[in-house]
A and B are shown apart, each in its own frame.
Chain A
Amino acid sequence: SQKIEQNSEALNIQEGKTATLTCNYTNYSPAYLQWYRQDPGRGPVFLLLIRENEKEKRKERLKVTFDTTLKQSLFHITASQPADSATYLCALDITGGGNKLTFGTGTQLKVEL
C-alpha cells in the first residue's frame, strides 16, 4: 500500500539556520507533491506544490525539491525564525486525478532563539 513517511521526531534548530525536512513515499508515482504547514488546533495551510517534472521550487525562504527516482521530497526553510515553528505535512495525490490527497504524519519543527 501507499506509504508516506516523514520523520516523526521533532526537529529542533537554532534561529537563522536552515531547516530541512524529508518526505519519502513508496509504491506510487505521483504527478505532484504538496507541502503544508499546520499550527496546533488549526487547519493546514498550503505552502508549495511541485510537479513531477520540476526538480526544485522556491517561494521566499522556502525551497522544495522532488526526486522521483528516490521517491523523496526535501523541504527547506532558510534563515529560520521562531515563527516558523509548526508541524509541516507533505501530501500526495495517489489517485492521479487530483481529487484525493494523502498526507504524511508530519514533522514538528521548533526554531529556538
Chain B
Amino acid sequence: GAVVSQHPSWVICKSGTSVKIECRSLDFQATTMFWYRQFPKQSLMLMATSNEGSKATYEQGVEKDKFLINHASLTLSTLTVTSAHPEDSSFYICSARIFRVTSGGNGEQYFGPGTRLTVT
C-alpha cells in the first residue's frame, strides 16, 4: 500500500511555456501532500505544502505565482511551473504523509517517482 504516482515522469519544454505535473495517491487519501525539488548531487528541498481544499503553503524563497499548486481532491495535487526558464530544470518530487493515529502521530512520507523537467 501507500503508493504515490507522478505524471509525467519526464518532460522537455521550451522557455516561457508552462508545465503541469500531477501527483496522485493511489490507495489512500492524502489531505496533505508535499512538493520537493532536487538538483543534481543535492538533497531534496521542500518547496510547498499542498493542503486539500485550501491554499498551499510555500517555503521561503519559492515564488507562489511561478509554482502554482492545486490540491483539488484527497488523491490529487498538481504543480504547474509557469513561464518556465532553464534554471527551473530540475527533478520535482511529490510526497504524501500518512498519519497513523495508533502509533502516536507523525507518520512517514511516501514519495512519488519524480518528474524530470528540462527547459530548453
Contact = CB atoms under 8 A, between A and B. Distances in A.
A98 interface: yes
Contacts of B102: none
B106 A46 contact: no
Interface string B33-74: 010000000111010010000000000000000000000000
A48 B106 CA distance: 13
A32 B103 CA distance: 12
Contacts of B49: 99-100
Contacts of B34: 100-101
Contact of A45 (B97, B99, B106, B111): B111
Given A32-B106, A93-B106, A102-B46, A43 B111 contact: yes
A99 B114 contact: no
Contacts of B112: 43
B93 A106 contact: no
Contacts of A49: 107-108
Nearest to B41: A105
Interface of A: 31-32, 34, 36, 41-46, 49, 51, 89, 93, 98-106
Interface of B: 4, 6, 32, 34, 42-44, 46, 49, 91, 93, 95, 97, 99, 104-114, 116
26 contacts: A34-B108, A34-B109, A36-B111, A41-B116, A42-B113, A43-B93, A43-B95, A43-B111, A43-B114, A44-B111, A45-B111, A46-B109, A51-B104, A89-B43, A98-B99, A98-B106, A98-B107, A99-B32, A99-B49, A99-B97, A100-B34, A101-B34, A101-B109, A104-B43, A105-B42, A105-B43
Given A43-B6, A46-B108, 14 more contacts: A31-B106, A41-B114, A41-B116, A42-B114, A43-B4, A43-B112, A43-B114, A44-B95, A89-B43, A89-B44, A98-B97, A100-B34, A101-B46, A104-B43
Shortest 5 CB-CB contacts between residues of A and residues of B:
A43-B111, A98-B106, A46-B108, A103-B43, A105-B43
